[in-house]
Homo-oligomer: A and B are copies of this chain.
Amino acid sequence: MSEQIFTTVGTRPIRHDGVDKVTGRANYGADLSLPGMLYGVVVRSPHAHARIRSIDTSAALAVPGVKAIITGQDVPLVDVKLGMGEGAMDLKDMSDNLLARTKALYHGHAVAAVAATSLAAARAAAKLVCVDYELLEPVLSVDRALEPGAPILHDDLVTQARPPIEATGPTNIAGRLELQRGDLAAGFAAADIVVERVFRTPTSHQGYIEPHACVARVNEDGRINIWTSTQGPFLVRDATAAMLGLDAANIKVTPSEIGGGFGGKIPVYLEPLAVVLARQTQRPVKMVMTRDEVFRASGPTSATKIRVKLGAKKDGSIVAASASLYYEAGAYRGSPSGAGAMCMFAPYNIPNFHIDAYDVVVNKPKVAAYRAPGSPMAALAIESAIDEIATTLGLDPVEIRLTNAVTEGNLAPYGPPYGPIGFRAVLERVKASDHWQTPVAPGVGRGLACGFWFNAGMSSSATVMLGSDGSAAVITGNPDIGGTRAAQAMMVAEELGIPVERVRPSVADTDTAGFTEITAGSRVCYATGMAVIEASRDVREQLRGRAAKIWGVTVDETRWEHGRVVPVTPSDARTPLTVPEIAAKLAKTGGPIIGRASVNPPMAGPSFAAHICDIQVDRETGVSKVVRYTAVQDAGKAVHPSYVEGQMQGGASQGIGWALNEEYIYSAAGVMENAGFLDYRMPVASDLPMIDALIVEVPHPGHPYGVRGVGEVPIVPPLGAVANAMSHATGLRFTELPLSPPRVLARLQQGT
């Protein structure tokens, strides 16, 4: 791809939605209230594993103001999948998760929902819903889940067990993926050094600031309106329709602003309940989770156990690798173990490897996607093992990775050969960075780790409207999580040669935007951006037609050049026309102009990242402090560098929190004991240094500007980077997260 010249792309304009957001004017999920609205509250299981014998709602129904109570009996369980192939979403599980039918599978599992005229009445009634439970032993770890004789969560879960787990009846294994290449035994036989370790990561949560919230209204003619904080308004529409047996064409979903999602606002928890309650009561119903409910009943990411074995030559070249990944799915199948397996060795060209990955159900909330789902835990394992080999062999951590780094033409462990990728460029940038070139301070440990993410494609749509004043509006259907309004406006500005301030980006509802998949998979700037660019080019083509009309020539006699239409044959009578000049004559030349495009591109260009972490440990308390941190990443092309940097800084911050402190602490009964931000310890600004973000740009040839996704890969390296830094700071190898003060202190006191 030849170097492109950009005018707007690569600059840093103020985001169009910025003022609304910083002044509190933007409306989030809980901000809407409608006349006559009821408040919906979910009744949740106080047991982690229990059979539901019966539910008595009579006392609750007697509470003044209560208008409806629903249980699993009110919503038939549907056995359908949404979407096709691997990415299909199992709505049967989602529906049973919505409202437990026969068993409560985790502490916090919804068993009923109440709608009342006030939140207080709804809460009072919820407490009076009497559920007769038969208690069962909870399964709280993959180890216990796989033990012979362990309680089985789903009696019908039989087909997925395969060797080495032998089973004739049902198991807790919901899925298994195996990847291999070459001759593993020969590879290890050829190795000069072999490292084998088992790593564990805890259940941790995305920690978005805004809890799940929605309002549903059912009109007398069956038309339904849902306002909700979601990453996917079209998914909410289609999943709600499928789960309730409704026609999606009768449902309009309006996405609110979204106060974070990170994958956790893809599943549907409240909307169908609100719709059923609204339908029963013929009044709008609002449902808002508390923070406690978000922790207990929305999807965290998997706790994992990962065994990795790595064999290398003395020069650091890896000759063999094997790994077994056990990822907790929570109560229903669907952990990101497969993605973890595919990502784990993706940065390295390893001739002989074997991976098996297990999706294991346990009595915890069903996991949800969390930023590069599955990859950070796998990276922790491989990056720690490489670090250990480098340390043992006395090799530079960057050099050993450069020795093994994949490059264009190498096969990805999951199959296809890589196209142009930026992993080597990222490692070279690390080497050249001020951070890497600055000697490690005394008492500080420095860790390096890398990471990989696929980035997604999928369907997206955009429309671009040109005004007669030469300004433009762009409409998409992706809730703006990471600054995508600004990025999309910039693409329109770039294509039309107009100032970005004169482009108005809007996120529209499902009746107004063209069909667009979820805001996830680092796909919005890539795939939706591609639709925006194509829609803008559709405008450009029409502008050529208008210029041709103005000049009295054919369209073929015009061409687009640097934001203007110019005649193919220069002429005094035909001076080049800018967009505002043509726009001013729209009415006279055939009316307004709308550009539109829809795309469904393949998977986006993969991105690689490398993070450097300097950490200091207080040996008396085990408290650690990140003192310097640098994130390097291949963005392909950074449309708005500030927001790419923001993604890198945000991903690093989340990963650091996950590495150092975040974890669900469970009681033996399976009750989360720290379901609040005071006890679930996320890093705040004062906990972290400024995170330096260094963008590398190796264009992705599948995108007009070379864009890769940027939102996810920055959370992949931090777990390994922090663990490696901690190892160098203490001389001890850490394999279990979080590296919280008690755990670090215990290891320091233990001395090994």
In contact, B594 and A597 (Cβ under 8 angstroms):
yes
Q: Oligomeric state, in number of copies?
A: 2
In contact, B461 and A594 (Cβ under 8 angstroms):
yes
Partner of A592, one of B14, B18, B461, B506: B461
Contact string, A4-28, partner B, CB cutoff 8 A, digits 1/0?
Answer: 0000000000100011100101000
How far, in Å, is A22 (CB) from chain B's closest CB?
9
Given contacts A248-B467, A514-B465, A596-B596, contact A591 B460 (CB under 8 A): yes
Chain B, residue nearest A457 (CB): B591
In contact, B598 and A473 (Cβ under 8 angstroms):
no
Q: Is A463 on the interface with B (CB-CB < 8 A)?
A: yes
Bound: A247/B600 CA distance, A: 36
Bound: A511/B501 CA distance, A: 14
Partner of A591, one of B18, B469, B594, B600: B600
Bound: A501/B221 CA distance, A: 11
In contact, A514 and B594 (Cβ under 8 angstroms):
yes
Inside 8 A of A223's CB, which chain B residues have their CB?
Answer: 19
How far, in Å, is A629 (CB) from chain B's closest CB?
33
How far, in Å, is A133 (CB) from chain B's closest CB?
39
Given contacts A594-B597, A598-B591, contact A465 B515 (CB under 8 A): yes
How far, in Å, is A559 (CB) from chain B's closest CB?
22
How far, in Å, is A209 (CB) from chain B's closest CB?
20
Inside 8 A of A502's CB, which chain B residues have their CB?
Answer: 247, 249
Partner of A23, one of B219, B458, B593, B597: B219
How far, in Å, is A598 (CB) from chain B's closest CB?
4
In contact, B461 and A25 (Cβ under 8 angstroms):
no
Inside 8 A of A510's CB, which chain B residues have their CB?
Answer: 473
In contact, A512 and B592 (Cβ under 8 angstroms):
no
In contact, A84 and B473 (Cβ under 8 angstroms):
no
In contact, A599 and B591 (Cβ under 8 angstroms):
yes
Inside 8 A of A252's CB, which chain B residues have their CB?
Answer: 504
Q: How many residues in A have their beta carbons less than 8 Å from beta carbons of B?
A: 56
In contact, B512 and A475 (Cβ under 8 angstroms):
yes
Given contacts A249-B469, A471-B248, A512-B512, contact A19 B600 (CB under 8 A): no
In contact, B19 and A514 (Cβ under 8 angstroms):
no
In contact, A249 and B467 (Cβ under 8 angstroms):
yes
In contact, A592 and B459 (Cβ under 8 angstroms):
yes
Chain B, residue nearest A249 (CB): B471
In contact, A19 and B594 (Cβ under 8 angstroms):
no
In contact, B19 and A220 (Cβ under 8 angstroms):
yes
Partner of A504, one of B475, B511, B514, B598: B511
Q: Is A586 on the interface with B (CB-CB < 8 A)?
A: yes
Contact string, A473-492, partner B, CB cutoff 8 A, digits 1/0?
Answer: 10100000000000000000
Q: Is A357 on the interface with B (CB-CB < 8 A)?
A: no
Q: Is A516 on the interface with B (CB-CB < 8 A)?
A: yes
Apart from the given pairs A465-B515, A508-B508, A516-B592, 17 other A-B contacts in the complex at a CB distance below 8 Å: A19-B220, A23-B219, A25-B219, A249-B471, A249-B502, A252-B504, A459-B587, A461-B465, A504-B511, A506-B511, A514-B594, A515-B586, A590-B600, A591-B599, A591-B600, A592-B598, A596-B596
Interface residues of A (CB under 8 A from B): 14, 18-20, 23, 25, 84, 219-221, 223, 247-249, 252, 458-461, 463, 465-469, 471, 473, 475, 501-502, 504, 506, 508, 510-516, 531, 538, 586-588, 590-600
9 contacts between A and B (CB under 8 A): A19-B221, A247-B502, A248-B467, A249-B501, A504-B511, A506-B511, A506-B512, A588-B600, A594-B597
Across chains A and B, which 3 residue pairs bring their CB atoms closest together, nearest first?
Answer: A591-B600, A249-B471, A515-B592
